[in-house]
Amino acid sequence: MTTDVFELFGSAEATRLMTAAVERAAAENRRLGLPEAVLVNGEWLAKYPDGRLETIVAPGTTPEPRGTVDNPLPAQDDPLKKPAV
* Domain assignment of residue 39, given as a range: 35-73
Assess whether 28 and 44 both reside in one domain.
no
Rounded CA-CA distance 85/81 in Å is 12
Assess whether 42 and 27 both reside in one domain.
no
Residues in Cβ contact with 47 at an 8 Å cutoff, skipping those fewer than 6 apart = 35, 36, 37, 38, 53, 69
Q: Number of structural domains, the chain?
A: 2
Rounded CA-CA distance 15/8 in Å is 12
What pLDDT does residue 21 have? 93
Which stretches of the chain drop beneath a pLDDT of 50?
79-80, 85
Which residues lie across from 52 on neighbouring strands?
A: 68
pTM to 2 decimals?
A: 0.49
For residue 67, give the nearest of 84, 81, 48, 82 by alpha carbon: 48
Question: What is the edge-to-edge ordering of all strands in the sheet holding 36-40?
Answer: 36-40, 43-47, 52-55, 65-68
Assess whether 39 and 62 both reside in one domain.
yes
What pLDDT does residue 23 have? 92
What pLDDT does residue 2 have? 60
